[in-house]
Structure 1
Amino acid sequence: MSAKHRLYRVTFMNQGQVYEIYAREVTHGGGMLGFVEIGKLVFGEKTTVVVDTSEEKLKNEFADVERFYVPVHAVVRIDEVSKRGPARIVGGVDGGSKVTPFPVYNFGGDAKK
């Protein structure tokens, strides 16, 4: 598969939910240490008759986004795939997902002395 036609399935945590999206570009965050840069998102064709509501929700959420950055600890997995599946929100922490988020520590003022 040529670099121009590479396709990635990116699974990541976002506000307690597991997102699964498809993109043509996935790189380290460039100048943003600790982030994964995701660009050229790929969604289903607008000509299809069957409408997947979860994919439509994600398409609307990322409508004007050219690229976005995900913290490395929020990335569950990145796969290079040969064909696109549906972009979807798989589940969440309370939604029956088998994905457990990486613990986030508060280094601020909540610690008791």
Structure 2
Amino acid sequence: MPCYRCGARQTDPTRGASPWKRAVRDERQVLVCPRCQAIDGWTADLDHCTACHSSTLVCRLGEIECRACGHVRTAERTGDNLVTSEAPGLSEEVEAALSRVLHRRAAPT
């Protein structure tokens, strides 16, 4: 999944904790790359906890949980709040990578 702000894609992680942050925006799980985290006010357009106003939220199974205070609420947008990516060409990149790994020939067009 790419960074929701700039579209950068994660690469294979090195050892240790990932510098990418998970967050929730419009009740959807998103990732934020380290470069975008360096921008002042990068959390302004993220969803915030209704109890403590933290932006350290995670979205899973129709619920949004605050990692700061533990407050859990039901997501208002049920059914479409799964992790999604609207990055252009991602499915084609995945298909090409699978073809390389599995030594498949490209399908004729």
TM (normalized to structure 1)? 0.25
In terms of fraction of residues, the more strand-rich structure is 1
Using structure 2 for the length normalisation, give the TM-score.
Answer: 0.25
**Higher relative contact order (CA closer than 8 Å, sequence separation 6+):** 1
Q: Higher Cα Rg: structure 1 or 2?
A: 2
